[in-house]
């Protein structure tokens, strides 16, 4: 009991800390704040790592699709090359068989 006031244990401890232990209190707050920053930074790092892995997988899938498109383009290009050589060098012509009569297109 202090004078006519009756303080609780928490009030007495808080008063003592504010009067006598300012530096340890500041250090405690600094430790707690830095711990919170460490936890949030680790969480954000994990999220960004997972996002990066997803983007790498997507890039690999797009790379495979790009290679397949190049192969398809080369295959189709070889067909048109053969057709061009047949018409230019061998003087071959297209034939329309849809009407039953053979009609030569120029």
pTM (2 decimals)?
Answer: 0.51
Residue 4 burial class via C-beta count within 10 angstroms: exposed 0-12, middle 13-18, buried 19 and up: exposed
Q: Tell me what the mean pLDDT of segment 7-31 comes to.
A: 87
pLDDT class for 61, splitting at 50, 70, 90? very high
Instruction: Round the average pLDDT of the chain to a whole number and report it.
Output: 84
Count Cβ atoms below 10 Å from residue 75 Cβ, excluding itself.
Answer: 9
The full set of domain ranges for the chain reads 9-105
pLDDT, residue 21, reads: 82
């Amino acid at each position: 009991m202090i004078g006519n006031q009756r303080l609780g244990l928490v009030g007495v401890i808080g008063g003592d800390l504010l009067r006598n232990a300012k530096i340890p209190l500041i250090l405690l707050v600094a430790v707690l704040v830095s711990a919170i920053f460490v936890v949030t930074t680790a969480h954000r790092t994990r999220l960004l790592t997972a996002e990066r892995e997803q983007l790498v997988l997507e890039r690999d899938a797009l790379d495979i699709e790009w290679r397949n498109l190049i192969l398809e383009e080369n295959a189709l290009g070889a067909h048109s090359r053969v057709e061009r050589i047949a018409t230019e060098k061998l003087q071959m012509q297209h034939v329309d068989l849809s009407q039953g009569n053979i009609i030569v297109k120029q």
